[in-house]
Amino acid sequence: MKAFLGMGLLGSNFVKAMIKKGDQVQVWNRNPSRAEALQTYGAKAFADVAQAVKGATTIHLTLKDDASVDEVLKLASKGFANGTTIIDHTTTSVKGAIERTAYWKGQGFTYLHAPVFMGPPNALESTGYMLVSGDQDIIGKVQPELEKMTGKVINFGPQEGKAAGMKLTGNLFLITLTAGITDTLAFAKAIGISSNDVSTLFESWNPGAGMPARLKKIAAGDFKQPSWELNMARKDAGLMQSAAEQSDVKLTLIPVIIELMDSWISKGHGNDDWSVIATDAVS
């Protein structure tokens, strides 16, 4: 018997997939109607979270944040069976993941933080990525179950909380990527280019394909063999900013990047590869 706490879009689709694979699942949600809706698929819904976990050997969670995880687990613990394993898919702080691992171990239970790079369709289709780190014996025992839930389980080794950190690192990239796309579309609008034309460009030219090589270049600190000199990149950034200002369009990231570029040029790095601006992040 499994229990699943938190019936948002991700959690509810995880449950549907589990039931489809033949699992018996007891569910709970702060808003009971979301848990009750899953009874149509074969889940058993409970209004009381302690009742929802009774008899379950494994408890999964997809909640909002550290505070909600701590609150719900405290209430649920009244129904924990001996040897219960808690698998938390919530995006949380590194500190919180480490503290919960130690706390529940002290209470005689296993807690594993396993955040995901999965949207609701991934949860339903058992695709995407799940991250784990910490006690390798524990991971070895639960990995077969986790592999049934996702396309790939990525194990980041024995360091507690590292999976939480990797999840936040990935989310930071997604946030800044979206901010970059926002600036790109805003600039295109300023110079009379439609979003459809921008899409046409990126359907053929995929700068993301070069990301692994760029990461390696930055991590290695190799900036003396430029593929794009900082001086030239700064010139182009200035043209972008000027065109946007002329059309009263505000760019979010470019002004900050220009300031960073100017700082590195003033230090004598104008002829280096423009990615020299990332030096402080890796040194």
pLDDT tens digit sequence for 211-264: 998 899 899 988 999 999 999 999 999 999 999 999 999 999 999 999 999 999
What distance in Å separates the CA atoms of residue 272 and residue 264, rounded to the nearest whole number?
A: 10
Based on the number of CB atoms within 10 Å of its own CB, is 40 exposed (0-12), middle (13-18) or buried (19 or more)?
Answer: exposed
How far, in whole angstroms, is CA 255 from its chain's centroid? 27
Residue 180 — pLDDT band, cuts 50, 70, 90? Answer: very high
Residue 282 — pLDDT band, cuts 50, 70, 90? Answer: confident
In the chain, the domains with their CATH numbers are: 2-157 (3.40.50.720), 166-282 (1.10.1040.10)
pLDDT tens digits, 53-80: 999 999 999 999 999 999 999 999 999 9
Q: Helices 230-246 and 162-190: crossing angle, nearest 10°?
A: 60
Quick one: which of 105, 111, 19 has its CA closest to 69? 111
Rg of the Cα trace of the chain? 24
Residue 200 — pLDDT band, cuts 50, 70, 90? Answer: very high
Q: How confident is the model over 94-107, as a mean pLDDT? A: 98
Determine which helix (DSSP H) or strand (DSSP E) holds 43, and give its type and residue range: none
Residue 123 — pLDDT band, cuts 50, 70, 90? Answer: very high
Judge whether 169 and 155 are in contact, CB under 8 Å.
no
Q: How confident is the model over 98-112, as a mean pLDDT? A: 97
What distance in Å separates the CA atoms of residue 229 and residue 270, rounded to the nearest whole number?
A: 7
Judge whether 109 and 103 are in contact, CB under 8 Å.
no
